[in-house]
A and B are shown apart, each in its own frame.
Chain A
């Protein structure tokens, strides 16, 4: 990774840091402190982030997923874009309480990377791989947001049921709004995830044949996709929300993390020739 993109990325990390701080302050119920600057701050972060991604792509001369840090950065970027899509729709930053820390950690990890793990496979220059990753990552972003919303739903539900004064705390949006965000984020992410997995499968079959299916990362991805679908199905058929939906979303989220970690064990994703 060149020098300038890293600078921009670090600026973005600082901006996202405001978002992280905002999340932490919200949890300690002092959220109003940063409420006024959090939107411009993370918006600015998004712009720098975009510049960083574009510049590093230009520097390398092609779409590059070769560096793990680039991928983290891309995932964080897409999560932030999805967050903003929903922010425009609902005018609430509250899902940020979950999204901001995730984005911060991903971007931070990407920005401090001095010796990036670089994969040298020529396959990674393939445009289809890039499409695959962007689709999957957008699906992840939708899942992250939905996961965040389901946690907020639980918090709000608990506050309302406890009948304490906190029930009327203003920083959380109404239950219905949180619910809408969670559901729409799922709906939004699902086609991306599906097509991402389809393109990945096609690419893998083309290169490795049918054996790719036993790869741990791919297996986990399929399980995650199944849980994702289950989430949507239970919601659509019997209106599952609240505790049960949050449980499933957490499950999907954990599998997503595992799938991410499984990169280290996956032959297919390290592009080891068969």
Chain B
């Protein structure tokens, strides 16, 4: 395999360290070129996001380390950051790439951006030509694994922020948010965020009201909405389907009797109160009215918490899938590993057979066609019998990760086959440097 991966992420390094290694997108092509120009590096790509930098390479032997790249490109002595850097090789590197792509290594497990970021990094490296057959195989597989994890587990389905839970709930009540209106009572970072989310999901009209009318006007301008005077709050709130409250009032400003009035004015069309204020702005009794749904900050937070817990459970399923996929990937690589050996073994014995026939031909005199066939069958039979055990052993060794290399070496030594490296080079020359997935 000979994959090497070195990286920092949000868990191993604080932002001061991560920013030392972050590479802006514009510099990525240059960076991957620098990476592949290091001695022993055959292929390489780099993923750089705000939470992680992953430097992935395939080396010609297992031993190459990427220190040269750190000195050359970053001008940093990696030893200074050794505590923050993690390094994975071969199987572990494959596993890490799969986990990153499947968003299992993310700060918020299951967040969807990372896959896109990895795909982008891959596209950049491909465009520059630093990704060839083996990294290509790895990344293609990683994308498939990410897709499988997304399809087969619920790791990415539930909302894990207060604002997105609010959107989910609004959708559960109103279906489509198209044409729905929002009323912001009071201002605050969280309520603004919730409003922004709702607008992004199709809500159209937004009204703002605040004890200080100037602030309402400023906020309304920000959202392209309408500021309404605070003293007309009870008359105007029923205009909105979704009410987000976050005033500093010491007691509830919306009580059950208000709710009844709103409902009759709305002809019983449902209303959704999102109460972000502490102390609460909406009397919990309001929730008892048919068609009024009240969620306070704790209710929302509770949904978030339970979703986060769900994601953790789902992440366990996902990890199992990744493990399985790593095994499959490795098995496939190893089968590919033994194929060239089998082929050269067959070629070798066939050459021996031909040479021997040619050698004794003169002594045999003229043969009848039947005799010709018999000689052919006899020699072929012997060769096949001899080849049988080594080939089955190779094939079964391919399935056992620890054995494969030993058995390949052994068979090559026993039969005096060409050195693998020269063989591969010749093969590559023969197919014009195409995709030969052989051991490098």
Q: Which residues of A contact B (CB under 8 A)?
A: 156-157, 160-161, 163, 165, 167-168, 173-177, 238-244
Say yes or no: B306 contacts A160, CB within 8 Å.
Answer: no
Q: Is there contact, CB below 8 Å, between B290 and A160?
A: no
Chain B neighbourhood of A174, CB < 8 A: 171-176
B78 at the interface (CB under 8 A from A): no
Which residues 411-430 of B sit at the A interface, judged by CB distance below 8 A?
none
State whether B306 touches A165 (Cβ < 8 A): yes
* Cα–Cα distance between A174 and B201 once the two chains are bound (Å): 15
| A241 and B290 alpha carbons, distance in the complex (Å) | 8
A176 to B242, CA, bound (A): 14
A94 to chain B minimum Cβ distance, whole angstroms, is 13
- Decide if B268 is an interface residue (CB 8 Å cutoff): yes
B268/A238 in contact, CB under 8 A: yes
Further 9 A-B residue pairs, CB within 8 A, beyond A160-B173, A175-B270: A160-B293, A165-B303, A168-B172, A174-B175, A176-B174, A238-B267, A239-B268, A241-B290, A243-B290
B302 at the interface (CB under 8 A from A): yes
Q: State how many angstroms separate the Cβ of B239 from the closest Cβ of chain A.
A: 16
Contact B158 A239 (CB under 8 A): no
B290 touches A244 (CB 8 A): yes
Flag if A163 contacts B299 (CB, 8 Å): yes
B65: min CB distance to chain A, Å: 48
Contact partners of B172 in chain A: CB under 8 A: 156, 160, 167-168, 174-175
A180: nearest chain-B partner, CB-CB: B175
Instruction: Compute how far the CA of A157 lies from the CA of B290 in the bound complex, rounded to whole angstroms.
Output: 8
Whether B268 contacts A167 by the Cβ 8 Å rule is no
Give Cα distance in the complex from A244 to B266, angstroms: 16
Chain B residue nearest to A163 (CB atoms) is B299
Residues of chain A with a CB closer than 8 A to B267's CB = 238-239
Residues of B near A173 (CB, < 8 A) are 175
Q: A160-B169, A168-B158, A168-B169 are in contact. Are A242 and B291 (CB under 8 A)?
A: yes
Distance from B300 Cβ to chain A, minimum over Cβ atoms (Å): 9
Q: Are the CB atoms of A242 and B290 closer together than 8 Å?
A: yes
Q: A175 near B169 (CB under 8 angstroms)?
A: no
Whether, in the assembled complex, B287 has its beta carbon less than 8 Å from a beta carbon of chain A, the answer is yes
Q: Which of B246-268 contact A (CB under 8 A)?
A: 264, 266-268
Chain B residues contacting A165 (CB-CB under 8 Å) are 303, 306
Residues on B with C-beta less than 8 A from A167 are 169, 172, 303
B348 is an interface residue with CB less than 8 A from chain A: no
Taken together as a complex, chains A and B put the C-alpha atoms of A150 and B264 apart, in Å, by 20
Residues of B that sit less than 8 Å from A by CB: 158-159, 168-169, 171-176, 264, 266-270, 287, 290-291, 293, 295, 299, 302-303, 306
21 residue pairs from A and B, CB less than 8 Å apart: A156-B172, A157-B291, A163-B295, A163-B302, A167-B303, A168-B169, A168-B172, A168-B303, A174-B174, A174-B176, A175-B172, A175-B175, A175-B270, A176-B174, A176-B175, A177-B175, A239-B267, A239-B268, A241-B290, A242-B291, A244-B290
Q: Which 4 A-B pairs have the closest CB atoms?
A: A174-B175, A239-B268, A239-B267, A176-B175
How far does the alpha carbon of A167 sit from the alpha carbon of B303 in the complex, in Å? 9
Q: Which residues of A contact B293 (CB under 8 A)?
A: 160-161
Contact across chains for A239 and B269 when beta carbons are under 8 A apart: yes
Q: B290, A175: Cβ atoms under 8 Å?
A: no
| With A165-B303, A241-B291 as contacts: A175 and B268 at CB distance below 8 Å | no
A175 touches B173 (CB 8 A): yes
Return chain B residues, CB-CB under 8 Å to A243.
Answer: 290
CA distance A167 to B171 in the complex (A): 11
User: For the complex, what is the distance from the CA of A241 to the CA of B269, rounded to whole Å?
Assistant: 9
Q: Are A161 and B287 in contact (CB under 8 A)?
A: yes
Assess whether A168 is in contact with B168, with CB atoms less than 8 Å apart.
Answer: yes
In whole angstroms, how far apart are the Cα atoms of A171 and B172 in the complex? Answer: 11
Looking at the assembled complex, report how far the CB atom of A86 sits from the nearest CB atom of chain B, in whole angstroms. 15
Residue numbers in A under 8 Å from B268 (CB-CB) = 238-242
With the chains together, A240 CA to B291 CA distance in Å?
A: 10
- Minimum CB–CB distance from B160 to chain A (whole Å) comes to 12
A168 CA / B303 CA spacing, docked (Å): 9
In the bound complex, residues from chain B placing their C-beta under 8 Å from that of A168 are 158-159, 168-169, 172, 303
Give CA–CA (A240, B263) in the complex, Å: 11
Tell me how far the C-beta of A239 lies from the nearest C-beta in chain B, rounded to whole angstroms: 4
What is the distance, in angstroms, from B205's C-beta to the closest C-beta of chain A?
Answer: 17
Q: Are A176 and B287 in contact (CB under 8 A)?
A: no
Residues from chain A with Cβ under 8 Å of B169 in the complex: 160, 167-168
Give Cα A165 to B124, complex, Å: 42
Name the CB-closest residue of A to B300: A163
The smallest beta-carbon distance between A148 and chain B, in angstroms, is: 18
B174 touches A175 (CB 8 A): yes
With both beta carbons as reference points, the residue of chain A lying nearest to B272 in the complex is identified as A160
How far, in angstroms, from A238 to B291 measured CA to CA in the complex? 13
B303 and A176 within 8 A (CB): no
Bound Cα distance A98, B172 (Å): 20
* Contact partners of B174 in chain A: CB under 8 A: 174-176
Report yes or no: B173 in contact with A176, Cβ–Cβ below 8 A: yes
B182 vs chain A, min Cβ distance (A): 16
Distance to closest chain A CB from B260 (angstroms): 13
* CA gap between A239 and B176 in the complex, in Å: 19
Residues of chain B within 8 A (CB-CB) of A157 are: 290-291
Q: How far is the CA of A211 from the CA of B179 in the complex (A)?
A: 54
| Chain A residues positioned under 8 Å from B266 (CB to CB) | 239
Closest to B264 in A: A238
Chain A's nearest CB lies how many Å from the CB of B269?
A: 6
- Cα A234 to Cα B84 with chains together (Å): 68
Residue of A nearest to B263 (CB): A239
- Kindly state the separation between the CA atoms of A241 and B270 in the bound complex, as whole angstroms: 10
CA distance A176 to B171 in the complex (A): 9
The interface residues of chain A lying within 8 Å CB-to-CB of B290 are: 157, 241-244
Q: How far is the CB of A145 from chain B (nearest CB, A)?
A: 18
| Bound Cα distance from A156 to B287, whole angstroms | 14
Q: Give B299 Cβ to nearest chain A Cβ, in Å.
A: 5
A102 to chain B, nearest CB (A): 26
B42 to chain A, nearest CB (A): 45
What is the minimal beta-carbon distance from B109 to any residue of chain A, in angstroms? 18
With CB as the reference atom, state the residue of chain B lying closest to A175: B173
Which of B159, B171, B176, B291: most chain A Cβ within 10 A? Answer: B291
